[in-house]
Copies of this chain bind each other. A is one copy, B any other.
Amino acid sequence: MIKKLQTEKELEQMARFAKALGHPIRLTILQHLEKQSCCFTGDFVDILPVAQSTVSQHIKELKDAGLIQGEINPPKVKYCINQENWDKAKALFCDFFDVDFTNSSCSI
**A positions within 8 Å CB-CB of B:** 1, 3, 5-6, 8, 11-12, 14-16, 18-24, 26-28, 30-31, 34-35, 86, 89-90, 93-94, 96-101, 103-105, 107
Contact = CB atoms under 8 A, between A and B. Distances in A.
A interface SS class: helix
Of A20, A34, A99, A105, the most chain B CB neighbours within 10 A belong to: A99
Contact of A94 (B1, B99, B107): B99
Given A94-B99, A104-B99, A31 B11 contact: yes
Contacts of A19: 18-19, 22-23
Of A12, A89, A96, the most chain B CB neighbours within 10 A belong to: A96
Nearest 9 pairs of A and B residues by beta carbon: A19-B22, A18-B21, A1-B105, A18-B22, A99-B104, A90-B97, A15-B24, A11-B27, A22-B22
A31 B104 CA distance: 23
A21 B15 contact: yes
Contact of A14 (B21, B89, B107): B21
